[in-house]
Amino acid sequence: MPEMIYNAIAGPLRETFFQKALIGGSIAAIVCSVVGCLVILRRMAFLGDALSHAMIAGVAGGYLFMKILFNTEAHAPAMLLGSLIAALVTVASIGFVSRVSRVKDDTAIGIMYTGVFAAGVVLVSVFRGYIHIDLMHFIMGDVLGVADSDLWVAAISAGIVLSIIVLFFRQFQLTSFDPVMAASIGMPVALIDYALTTCVSLVVVSAVSMVGVILVVGLLITPAASAYLLSDRLDRMMLLAAVFGVTSVVGGLYLSMWLDSSGGGAIMLFCSFQFLVILAFAPNYGLLARWLRLKQAIPQQLLEDVLVEINRAGSKISLAALKAKIPDTKSRLEKALRKMTSDGLLQATGQTVSLTDSGFKEANRILRAHRLWEAYMSHVGLAANSEIHATAHRLEHVNDIESVEYLDDFLGHPIYDPHGSMIPQSAERCTIGGICCLSHLREGVSAEILEAPTDVHMKGLTPGVIIKVGSRSNNNSEWSVSTPDGSGLVLDHQSADSIKVKITAVSS
């Protein structure tokens, strides 16, 4: 058995074609993976696919150029130059179309690369007497049939591209994560983008002859995506991507030998399998880690329900009574109580829990949302009176400031909900020193006017004046206020909304 394993591993290494495939595939994998990190960070994955397909026109042009002018078959340098020109033409065309029309970048890529690819196919078919390209070999590649010239082209291209990335790493990094900041500090963002696109083009055209269109796109994207799941630093991500690219080539080539299958297909299969394993088990961004986080997480709805129930019980409740009111598992409820205690929202004393000042404010915020939702549903008739409370219990968890303040303003800043319970005021605005609109104030509150439109200046409501709010009238749609000289005024909702005040005193 050990001898069989040894032969299965060492046997292929004795073959020259396997050695060349390992060297050429590893070179292509390293440079593709490193460049691929920048590609996926910039969301340019489709561009690699476009360039790899479009370069058939360049290969055909190189063949035709060498045959017509020099009556000789094209060599690797001619095909490489033609492919690079085709790639750059494709990129320039994509940029032109997206810049001068309303067509977005992804649509422009789809249009232009299929057009250039089709032009290459037509060129090959029309001049089939001069051009000898195996389209299946071009698309699928033949990594087990790598020629010496392919190795030299790949090595030189990889050296150039990796040198550019090392020399300009900081520029590539900054423009990938924050192009606006890069432009603000004087970096030539457009030039850096073109440099990266040229690197991608060079990588693609140097690797396609060995591994084919499908595999070069896979090596450009999949190892980098695998590394992206494991690292938050670009330099470490590039190193991991290169490692994953090489392991994909090594594992895929051995797999192709053991199964007697296509080399390129086996490499991509191994690479995809490697990605799926990392996707499942990555410590921070993997599916297992996400499942564990979700399992351990405490739903925000449960936390808010606990606060509201304690508030309704008078800011203090026994654990037994709380568990009877909250329909949730015992373990999750206990975990929620521990979290809120550590967050400073609750205080536990024996078998009793009570709200802290912070917990009381948070509970009032949720209760305010609940009762405003009740008032809103009653106002627009979205639910029957018997269903209002249950529906509002679900909607109270939509309690962000923008939504709640919109409801409050839409309803004219109501004081009571449909059941006659008082709606808590905004803890952020309606406290001493808080700045808000006069319409937010309730009876007994005194405030200093900060801003007021000119049409109310005539009524004595000018900045600096201290006013006291009286009772509401006309179905709570009008505000009565009094000034220090004893005069009284009545303001409608629009006028009360237009006056900004600073609260100086709140009635007990």
Q: What pLDDT sits at residue 55?
A: 66
Rounded Cα–Cα distance for residues 213 and 43 (Å): 19
Report the candidate in 79, 351, 62 with the shortest Cα–Cα distance to residue 208. Answer: 79
Band (48; pLDDT cuts 50, 70, 90): low
Mention every residue, 6+ apart, whose C-beta is less than 8 A from residue 498: 437, 452, 453, 456
pLDDT per residue as tens digits for the range 398-412: 777 788 888 888 888
Residue 116 pLDDT greater than 80, yes or no = no
Q: What pLDDT sits at residue 238?
A: 92
Tokens found for residue 267? 């490499």
Q: What pLDDT sits at residue 343?
A: 81
Q: What pLDDT sits at residue 265?
A: 78
3-state percent helix, strand, coil for the chain, nearest multiple of 5: 65, 10, 25
Between 342 and 50, the higher pLDDT residue: 342
- For 32-46, 117-131, 439-453, which range has the lowest pLDDT when averaged over its residues? 117-131
Q: How far apart are the first and last CA of the chain?
A: 88
Band (49; pLDDT cuts 50, 70, 90): low
Between 108 and 27, the higher pLDDT residue: 27
Residue 75 pLDDT greater than 60, yes or no = no
- For 9-23, 69-83, 108-122, 454-468, which range has the lowest pLDDT when averaged over its residues? 69-83
Q: What pLDDT sits at residue 119?
A: 78
Tokens found for residue 475? 């179905």
Q: What pLDDT sits at residue 141?
A: 61
Q: What pLDDT sits at residue 71?
A: 65
* DSSP string of 137-163, one letter each residue: HHHH--GGG--HHHHHHHHHHHHHHHH
Residue 97 pLDDT greater than 60, yes or no = yes
Rounded Cα–Cα distance for residues 298 and 292 (Å): 12
Q: What pLDDT sits at residue 11?
A: 65
pLDDT per residue as tens digits for the range 211-253: 666 677 788 889 999 999 998 888 899 999 999 999 998 888 8
Residue 498 pLDDT greater than 70, yes or no = yes
pTM over 0.85: no
Amino acid identity of residue 259, one-letter, is L
Per-chain mean pLDDT for the chain: 79
pLDDT per residue as tens digits for the range 259-273: 877 777 788 889 899
Q: What pLDDT sits at residue 157?
A: 83
Rounded Cα–Cα distance for residues 240 and 221 (Å): 13
Alpha-helical segments (H) within 343-433:
357-380, 385-395, 401-410
Tokens found for residue 239? 């190193």
Q: What pLDDT sits at residue 223?
A: 92
Report the candidate in 119, 65, 64 with the shortest Cα–Cα distance to residue 90. Answer: 119
Rounded Cα–Cα distance for residues 128 and 121 (Å): 10
Residue 74 pLDDT greater than 60, yes or no = no
